Structure formats: C-alpha cells, structure tokens
Amino acid sequence: LVAIVAAFAALVVVASTKSESVTTVSGAVVLDGTAMFLQGTVLLVSLVAVAFMGERRLERVVRQPELVGAATGSGTNGTGDITDADMFTSSGASVPGSDAEYEATRAGGTTTEVFPLALFAVGGMMLFGACGDLLTMFVALEVMSLPLYLLCGLARRRRLISQEAALKYFLLGAFASAFFLFGAAFAYGATGSLDLAEINTSLASADDRSLAVIGFALLSVGLLFKIGAVPFHSWIPDVYQGAPTPVTGFMASATKVAAFGGLLRVCYLGFGEIHKDWEPILWAVAIATMLIGAIMAVTQSDIKRMLAYSSITHAGFLLLGVIALDEHGITATLFYLAVYGFSTLGAFATISVVREPDRPVGPHLSGREATDISQWAGLGKRYPLVGAMFSMFLLAFAGIPLTSGFIAKFAVFSAAAGSGAGILVVVGVLSSAIAAYFYIRIIIAMFFTDPPDDPPHIVRPSILTTAGIAACTVVTILLGILPQPLLDLAERAAQFH
C-alpha cells in the first residue's frame, strides 16, 4: 500500500509540474495526458484492490461460541470469534487451516507472495498505457499478465477450481500474446518501425496498406483478449469464478483500465491513418460483445459468473468510445474506465463477505463465499446496509440516473452518436435494457423474497475492506451527482503525443 501511495504521489507531482508530454527511453515511454490519467486510475483502483487482498481478519457478525469446540487450528480465539473465514492472505503458500499455519500466524511469521506479484502487475499496467512503441508494449503486457496468471491460482480454499482458472488464463493468454507479437512483426514489415507515431506517419504516405491491416488485426487479438471482448471472451467467466475474489476484482478493474489504455494508443496514435480499414472490425466486435455479454448474463446462476458476463458487456460499451475516434470519445472512455473500476471493485468486495452457512463439523466454521444467486434471497432484509451498497453498484452497472454508471454510459453513447455510429448506440441501449433485467433481478431477490432455510451470513472484515467498500460506494454515488470535475480532468487528458 505504501508503494502504491508513493507512486501516486510521484505521479501527481509530475502531472502538476509538466506543461507538455514527456518522452523517455528513446520514445519507448510517453507521459502525455492520457497516459497519466490512466496511470492515476490504475494506482487508485489498485490501492483499493490490494487493500482487499490484504484482508487478514474476517469474523462472524453473529458469533457462535458453541461451535468453537468443533474447530482445531482454524484461527479461532476460544471466545467464539471466527478469525479465519476463507481469507485470501495471510499466508498464500501454506496449507490453509493447518496447525502450522495457525502457529505461524500467532507468531507473526506469515509470509505471502501475493503482494510482490500484485505490485509487478501494477507496474506493467502503468507502463502498458504509456508505451510509445510496440516492443515496449509487449514487454509491459507480459509484466502485467504473468503475475495475474499466478495470482489466479492462489486461492486458499477451492484450490482445484482456482488452479484450473489459472491454467486456462495462462494458456489462452499465451496464445493472445503470440498474436500480439506477430502483429508487431507485420507492422514492422509494413512500415520499417515499431514506434507508434512513426508507424502512423509511414501509413499516411503508403500506397499498399494490406500488410499493416493484417498487423493491426493480429495486434487487436492480443488487446481484445485482455479487455474481454467477443470472440476472445471465453476465459473470463471461468477465470472470474475460479480466481480468489480479491484477484477477480483487481483483474476486472485495473486490468481493464490498462488494456483499454493500450487499445486507445494503438488505434489513435499508431493506426489512425487506416481507421477506415479497421473501423468495421471494431463495429462488429462491439455489437457482438454488448449483445452476447448481456444475453449470457441472464442465464447465469452464479453471481461471479454473472458479473463476468456483465464485464464483457461493459467492454462493448467502452469500445463505443474507442470507435468515436475523437477527443470526445477519449474523454468518455477515460471517465467510464474510472467509474467502472471503483464500482466493480466494490461489487466483488461485497461478494467476498457473504458466506455460506456455518458448518458444525470440520476445521472452518465460516463457510465459503455464497455465490449462488438463490442464496442471496432475503439478504437485503437481514443485512440492509450490505444489501443497499451492493444494490448501488448494480444500479451503476445498469446505468440508472444519479449513479456514476449513468453518466459514463451517456458519455460514451453521446460520443458514438456524434461520430455517426448511431447503430452502435441503438444496440448499446438494447443491451443496457437486457442487462438491467439481471441486475434488478438480484435486487428484488435481496429485498423482496424470503431467505432460504439455510441463509448465508455476513462476515465482519477489518478496516481495510470496510473502508474500501465504503470508498467505492461514495465514489459511485458522488460521480453520479457531481461528475463534472472528473469529466473536465478527462477532457484535459484526452490527448496523445
């Protein structure tokens, strides 16, 4: 957390002192307005996400001392307080619930590989949206991706499904990275350069652009895979469901910010001269992404898989801002990325504190996360505050007025309509209507249906998670009521050099 705060402070100092873009390392890194906005967003979102990863204290809201005798070495303190309810860290590499882990925790000797991996990923994300050439972008892509592959497999419970998610993500991610590298090779063959600005300049005077179009198509496979666009979305539901929930929130927010930063830079700065060639491709991808994501989300019974398909739909909405091809599109995309990141983090953090019923046998009294939507019935009646906060995130995803999601969707739809992409706006509105159904369905289940016979309970997290969820809720509401300061900041940042 200290490292991320220090990095954000340094970024603020650089942004406040520079008057124009700064190019470093022979053009490999460009610190223009868009890059610094994306880096700031990544750092703020990552700060909250790492706080969720650092959760080490989860205890039952309603303690049950009579069940303590059933646990041995589970992190109970003998008074009925449950202090080990499927936490992600304190010791990511040890056997969860073992006597050795419990003794190490009591002695203060716990270690974890989670935080170094998360910081490596954050470093790659910050670099990815500020790259001036394709080779540096590939390196940033790998620095960002490799730690995430490992983090997905570090669940302390449900290890098989977590490791399966990590393996799927790794294999498909490796293929996507290979496509990106092939695309860079084709771009170099077409223009003789890997520098994005030089590629664009060369294409302006090129007679035959077919090789460059092929290069862009291959590059876009790697980029569209990272943002989860159709048809490169198949990994998202399985990985989001299998990965530890704090990691899922981290990927769904910070990774999407970085990936769209790279896509914006490639489309606008590197291949803007051939936009008429690649625009139809992105049109088709955006339409398929919005519709397929929304329709598939309706059929889901697991809330993490539902939010996974929801993230696919939002990737389609964000593509509308990319397709706009003007400063309004960049502004709308930057604003959308910021507000979506916080809402997504808050939603997944809330899921992490909703647990299955206690079991009177076995070492762990507090159950696993209750992710089946049927288990959430009546949750809002029993825990009004948790239900209200989660409902706020869902309403923001649906784009309901007075939430940040409404302003974000209005911004990208306006930018797309202004650029002549009215058909995309119509499809976007239709997809939003479909998406609103499954969001509101959960709200109705929480507040207007009776709880099941064995309802889930809420675990009380430490100040890290509590403050993080509260901050995400405040941002979601505040940017729905007073969005103009962030919109102005995004507008000033909407420039590439």
pLDDT digits (tens, 9 = 90+) for 478-493: 999 999 999 999 998 8
Separation of alpha carbons 199 and 271, rounded Å = 7
Please state the φ and ψ torsions of residue 57, each to the nearest 5 degrees. -140, 110
Burial of residue 109 (CB within 10 Å: 0-12, 13-18, 19+) is: exposed
Amino acid at 493: A
Is-contact 125 255, C-beta < 8 A?
A: yes
* Average pLDDT value for residue range 94-111: 56
Q: What's the CA angle centered on 12, arms 11 and 18, to 5 degrees?
A: 85
Query: What is the rounded average pLDDT of the residues 26-31?
Result: 77
In this structure, are strands 59-60 and 354-355 parallel, antiparallel, or unpaired?
unpaired
Q: How far apart are CA 217 and CA 277, in angstroms?
A: 10
Give the pLDDT confidence of 378-401 residue by residue, as tens digits: 888 889 999 999 999 999 999 999
Token pair in block for residue 458? 């809420």
| Cα–Cα nearest to 130, from 39, 5, 56, 12 | 39
pLDDT at 82 over 80: no
Lowest mean pLDDT among 160-169, 187-196, 354-363, 444-453: 354-363
Average pLDDT, the chain: 83
Q: How far apart are CA 483 and CA 486, in angstroms?
A: 6
CB atoms within 10 A of CB 20: 10
**pLDDT tens across 296-335, in order?**
999 999 999 999 999 999 999 999 999 988 889 999 999 9
> How far apart are the C-alpha atoms of 203 and 268, rounded to whole Å?
13
Compute the distance between CA of residue 164 and CA of residue 166 in angstroms, rounded to an integer: 5
Could you report the per-residue pLDDT of 157-201, keeping only the tens digit for each?
A: 667 788 888 999 999 999 999 999 999 999 999 998 898 989 988
Please give the distance of CA 35 from its chain centroid, rounded to a whole number.
Answer: 18
Q: Is 89 exposed, middle or buried (0-12, 13-18, 19+ CB in 10 A)?
A: buried
Highest mean pLDDT among 19-33, 197-211, 411-425: 411-425
Distance CA 92, CA 166 (A): 15
| CA–CA separation, 214 and 288 (whole Å) | 21
Q: What's the one-letter identity of residue 133?
A: D
Q: Which amino acid is at 78?
A: G
User: Using 50, 70 and 90 to split pLDDT, how confident is the model at 406?
Assistant: very high
Q: What is the pLDDT of residue 106?
A: 60
Q: What is the pLDDT of residue 337?
A: 95
Q: Tell me the pLDDT band of 25, cut-offs 50, 70 and 90.
A: low
Tens of pLDDT, residues 236-283: 999 999 888 889 999 999 999 999 999 999 998 888 888 888 899 999
What separation in angstroms does the CA of 106 have from each of 80, 85, 341? 17, 16, 35
Tell me: pLDDT of 70 over 70.
no
pLDDT for 404 beyond 80: yes
Provide the residue ranges of all domains of the chain, joining segments of one domain with +: 2-493
Whether this model's pTM surpasses 0.85: yes
Task: Give the E-state strand segments of 158-289 in sequence order.
Answer: none
